Amino acid sequence: MSNEDGGDDFRSRGGGTSNDTWVGFPSNQGGDDGSSDVEEPQDADYSYVSSLNDELALLILARIPRSDHSKFCSVNKRYLALFKSDELYNIRRAYGIKEASVFMLACGEPHWWAFNRQFTACRKLPVLPSDACFASGDKESFCAGTHLLVSGKEFEGMTIWRYELVKNRWFKGPSMINPRCLFASASCGDVACVAGGIAMGTRGMEILNTAEKYNPEAKKWISLPRMNERRKLCSGCFMDDKFYVIGGQNERGDLTCGEVYDAEKNTWKLIPNMLENSPVLTPSTSRSPPLIASVNNELYSLEPSSNQLKLYLKDTNSWRYLGESPVRADQTRGWGIAFKSLGDRLLVIGGTSPHGTNGMTICTSCPDPNDPGNLKWRVLSCGGNRISHFILNCSVMVA
């Protein structure tokens, strides 16, 4: 699909700034928290903050939102080096300081964009230096720690590119132990897991039941035990500190079961009929993987055929309707829709009309499992609804 509904206007908001600079834009309430370009740092100061010891100053700086980092990089060279190192993120991790960012690639956009949690500021990531096959092909993305990983196919085969937030650069690799596509993935802090999918190697188009975990500190993949079922076009999430893989297809057809990986026991447990009477079993061979998200250890699903939101009831292994989604997922069988967890909120991004003429819509909601009839959505702004509503990739980083 083309980006004829105004992609150039969106790009102009950040086109003249440094890739490392967040650009603010008016919110729905009319506020403006724009940031200026990064200036050459001065080198007159030799301590972080006058009259404060370095340990306290570092703790204060670690609490500064990432969208404001560029404002402090111009203070002196020590600040600049600090914000471009792992030191602040190690402090944030030690003190449990977390901040969510949304990384997104929309149809027709040549660049990835990063948004802050409130969608009041964004910045353009450096150009991903892949070949033309990777750039134009289907891709899958997920985050682990301060790494954004994008998996796709280059002319030489399956490849992973990783964007390191601290260095603001793309790097190639590391490749999975079993390169794959159409797999399930999920992130929980510094942990990211993948499972299932289709093998893209010497074994041909084999449907996999293998699983792996990515370690961002070591920049390597670690094998996990095999799942009970081979499955492709499946989805993953973390819930109750466990990795769930749901739905998908194997050689026999659709799968109604789910599986859960317990890291403490290092085992998979099959959940029969987890998707029975659920929204994801629309009779279409071209539908998207299940649209699922976990918030506060509750599992939610967006039904593409009816645009209805559902809650998974763990005790009865069933689903409950909560209300209608503010975006249309039915026109594309679930493709092009971002349905993610954003802290304690659900995030949904897509179009509001059958042909996307109203552009992108970004909404969040704090669903209450105990009050299913009171679903309220908050519409957010991305600096104007001119970017394509069809989302190719979307991942949330919490670091």
Geometric angle at alpha carbon 216, from 215 and 221, rounded to 5°: 35
pLDDT at 32: 38
Q: What percent of the chain has pLDDT over 70?
A: 81
Mean pLDDT of the region 203-227: 94
pLDDT band at 37 (very low <50, low <70, confident <90, very high): very low
pTM: 0.85
pLDDT at 378 over 80: yes
pLDDT band at 27 (very low <50, low <70, confident <90, very high): very low
Specify which of 26-30, 61-65, 266-270 reaches the highest per-range mean pLDDT: 266-270
Residue bearing the bigger pLDDT, 101 or 375: 101
User: What are the φ and ψ backbone dihedral angles of 133, each rounded to 5 degrees?
Assistant: -65, -45
Residue 70 is predicted with a pLDDT of: 76
Please say if the pLDDT value at position 203 is more than 90.
no
Q: Residue 15: pLDDT above 50?
A: no
Rounded to whole angstroms, the maximal C-alpha distance in the chain is 69
Residue in this structure with the two tokens 């914000």, named with its chain if needed: 83
Which is nearest to 119 in space by CA: 192, 239, 10? 10
- Secondary structure in 3-state letters for 327-391: CCCHHHCCCCCEEEEECCEEEEEEECCCCCCCCEEEEEECCCCCCCCCCCCEEECCCCCCCCCCE
Checking if the pLDDT of 228 tops 70, the result is yes
More confident: 94 or 141: 141
Exposed (0-12), middle (13-18) or buried (19+): which is 376, by Cβ within 10 Å? exposed
Which range is least confidently modeled, 63-67, 91-95, 247-251, 347-351? 63-67
Over the chain, what is the mean pLDDT? 83
Residue 44 has pLDDT above 50, yes or no: no
Once rounded to an integer, what is the mean pLDDT over residues 349-367? 77
- Distances from the Cα of 321 to the Cαs of 271, 300, 303, 310, 339, in angstroms? 21, 10, 10, 5, 16
Three-state DSSP at 394 gives: strand
Higher confidence at residue 371 or residue 191? 191
Query: How many Å apart are CA 166 and CA 218, to the nearest integer?
Result: 15
pLDDT at 323 over 50: yes
The reported pLDDT for the residue numbered 31 is: 38
Question: Bigger pLDDT: 232 or 67?
Answer: 232
Across the range 35-40, mean pLDDT stands at 41
**Residues 140-169, mean pLDDT to the nearest whole number:** 96
Q: How far apart are the first and last CA of the chain?
A: 33
| pLDDT band at 370; cut points 50, 70, 90 | confident
- On the question of pLDDT at 271 being above 50, the answer is yes
Query: Would you call 15 helix, strand, or coil by DSSP?
Result: coil
Contact (Cβ atoms closer than 8 angstroms) between residue 148 and residue 162 = yes
pLDDT at 104: 95
Give the chain's domains with CATH numbers: 52-97 (no CATH), 128-276 (2.120.10.80)
Q: What does the pLDDT average to over 30-40?
A: 40
Task: Classify residue 291 as exposed, middle or buried by CB count within 10 Å of its CB (0-12, 13-18, 19+).
Answer: buried
pLDDT at residue 52 in the model: 63
Q: Are 173 and 148 in contact (CB under 8 A)?
A: no
Least confident stretch, 39-43, 223-227, 277-281, 321-325:
39-43
Please give the pLDDT value at position 108.
87
